[in-house]
Chains A and B, each alone.
Chain A
């Protein structure tokens, strides 16, 4: 079964961008991530293909600026999946090398022509150190 055209076109757009983009289905399962996102995830889409939400969501360690953990339900992508609305948040994310990095995350729902909720897109913006 082919994906909805709105999902396919989001992937085509992500493929053209130099910013990291993740695309999920309505449950949060990872359908696609582009090359810049591979650097964040530490994995190649060519190697992993799609990833269940239980697996890919545990790869990231996120913290508030005061060092406290961020509850998953407060992460923009989780909120987008729950509320079908766009969200944005800046936080610290521990890189694969264990270094904390300031990241902004924008997420938006993919809502097709007929109003059907089809999935979500998360865009990671790496903040330059001041």
Chain B
């Protein structure tokens, strides 16, 4: 399983000299195996993905955790959508009231975007998922609703060799007692359990989180404790706050890495990183 991080920033793109190292593009991850390609979220990182993606089997699957703008803003610029030979599958969270097509259609329509959904020339297939298990090529995918604002799912992606868990927007510590130590009562724990790599929300420092409880995101400390409870082998903190510069992220990482303990490998996600699971290559 080859994984490429095309966007790791949260909330809004923040390209500039102060974010050059970790990157300023919002979430977009490419996962490939045996000629099959999954794209996790369609943030502004999708623009960088466009220039390198190899679509060998004329099919691509885009898995959306939720429809907040930082996770879909790159979708309209994805070249496969404008290729009539391409089969594009978009998987996203089911909602009680409106279909995935209707919700995405709000973006794919003027004045937000000049092209209507119905005018996209590719062969488009939409799939609504909830607490589901489905297969795409060599990948077995589990989706589960997680604690965030609005319908939001995380993914657990398994192939023959490894498990990748992806929970980019998640507030597992919501509640008066913080993070539950009992996995049954811990949002997202099924998805993360014993995974080889977890890409998880780590938007805030613990000090920042105190003033942002209920915003749907996670402190780096809580994310680290969550991953340790779930037996994750390698945690990459993801969805960096747009106000955090490279220098600030370096300092926050030093602080959290100092207290993490245990055997789990811990990193901050860096845009452009390529990972081959289970072997990590930078």
Would you call A15 and B94 a contact (CB within 8 A)? no
CB of A9 within 8 Å of the partner chain = yes
Would you call B176 and A8 a contact (CB within 8 A)? no
Q: Of A5, A15, A113, which is within 8 A of B146 by CB? A: A5
Inter-chain contacts of A16 with B (CB < 8 A): 175-176
Take A2-B186, A3-B185, A4-B145 as given contacts and tell me if A114 and B130 are in contact as well, using a CB distance cutoff of 8 Å: yes
CB of B115 within 8 Å of the partner chain = no
Question: 1/0 contact trace for B89-117 toward A, CB 8 Å?
Answer: 00000111000000000000000000000
Interface residues on A, range: 10 to 19
In A1-40, the 8 Å CB interface with B consists of: 1-6, 8-9, 11-12, 15-16
CB of B203 within 8 Å of the partner chain = no
Would you call B96 and A114 a contact (CB within 8 A)? yes
Complex Cα distance A6/B130, Å? 13
15 sample A-B contacts, Cβ–Cβ < 8 Å, listed by A number: A2-B183, A2-B190, A4-B131, A8-B185, A8-B186, A9-B174, A11-B175, A11-B185, A12-B174, A15-B177, A16-B176, A113-B95, A113-B130, A114-B94, A114-B96
* B-binding residues in A (CB < 8 A): 1-6, 8-9, 11-12, 15-16, 112-115
Would you call B94 and A113 a contact (CB within 8 A)? yes
Number of A-B contacts (CB under 8 A): 49
Would you call B184 and A3 a contact (CB within 8 A)? yes
> Which residue from chain A places its CB closest to the CB of B172 in the assembled complex?
A8
Inter-chain contacts of A2 with B (CB < 8 A): 144, 183-190
Interface residue total, chain B, C-beta cutoff 8 A: 22
Inter-chain contacts of A8 with B (CB < 8 A): 147, 185-187
* A-binding residues in B (CB < 8 A): 94-96, 130-131, 144-147, 151, 174-177, 183-190
Would you call A1 and B190 a contact (CB within 8 A)? yes
> Which residue from chain B places its CB closest to the CB of A5 in the assembled complex?
B145
Complex Cα distance A2/B230, Å? 11
Would you call B185 and A113 a contact (CB within 8 A)? no
Complex Cα distance A93/B147, Å? 37
> Which residue from chain A places its CB closest to the CB of B190 in the assembled complex?
A2
Q: Of B94, B130, B147, B176, which is within 8 A of A9 by CB? A: B147
Measured CB to CB, the closest approach of chain B to A126, in angstroms, equals: 22
Would you call A12 and B176 a contact (CB within 8 A)? yes
Complex Cα distance A38/B188, Å? 28
Q: Of B96, B146, B175, B190, which is within 8 A of A115 by CB? A: B96
Complex Cα distance A115/B94, Å? 11
> Which residue from chain B places its CB closest to the CB of A115 in the assembled complex?
B96
Measured CB to CB, the closest approach of chain B to A91, in angstroms, equals: 31
